[in-house]
Amino acid sequence: MDLDLFGKTVLVTGGASGIGAGICTVFAREGANILMNYRSRQAEAEAFAQELRQRYGVRVLPVQADITEPEAVEDLFVQARAQFETLDVLVNNAAGNVIFKPFQDYTEEDWHAAQAGICDHVFRMSQHFLRTCLATGREGRIINILSKSAILSSSIHNLTYVANKGALTALTRGMAKEFIPYGVYVNGIVPGYVRTRVHMDNTERTERVKKLLPLHSFAEPEEIGNVAAILASPLFRQMIGSIVDCTGGTLI
């Protein structure tokens, strides 16, 4: 199916690896141009961007920025306006690292770090994106990558992550209701276990978890990208405030 994404411009945070790389790959395959934000591993990001350019013939601009910093978010959108005529889709994929501690041992700094790494930058990115759409008079799509931990907490000692992912899920639905009169569609995706560096580094744990999953396998990053492309497509206008379960049956 042609998702009518050819020539669109997509901004993906945390786009150089993991789920973000899978999302960038799918959008490039659909003919969209990519503004790919990343925080570290510059050589890896540049190589991935070049690979997408050569394979799909689209424009890919990798931009290094720590989007937990308000100035970095503003600069990212300045570059987007300078390099691309339009900005059609925002994928808020980047998220801070999980801090594993018993609840009584968390510090104020731990809490604020989780909030900055999960919620605060999504607020800023989405606000800038909405303002861009209002200024250009164009429709837009925002897709937030959420977490099953906000719905089903399967582990302990990660409550700062759980709480902020829950807040992000509520923020997604709230933005959807408020933004739709302006033609900006907001939806979220809840991934399950995905074949990324963080999971594949621990082979023993990975094999143990796979046996517990309904499909007995981890998802590929591109599978999450496929869902993101559907939510970004103008063909799926009835999807507003949807929280798409992409966990491979983990939440059943």
Convert the pLDDT of each residue in 74-129 to its tens digit.
Answer: 999 999 999 998 899 999 999 887 889 999 999 999 999 999 999 999 999 999 99
Active-site residue, from 56, 161, 185, 193: 161
Confidence of residue 207 (pLDDT cuts 50, 70, 90): confident
The pLDDT, as a whole number, for residue 198 is 65
Q: Estimate to the nearest angstrom the gap between the alpha carbon of 149 and the chain centroid.
A: 16
Q: What gap in Å lies between CA 214 and CA 207, rounded to an integer?
A: 13
Phi, psi for residue 122 in degrees, rounded to 5: -65, -40
Largest CA distance in the chain: 52
The residue-averaged pLDDT of 206-221 equals: 85
Domain map (residue ranges) of the chain? 9-245
CATH class of 9-245: alpha beta
How high does pLDDT run on average in the chain? 93
Kindly report, residue by residue over 151-191, the tens digit of the pLDDT: 887 678 999 999 999 999 999 999 999 999 999 999 999 99
Active-site residue, 161 included: yes
- What pTM was computed for the model? 0.95
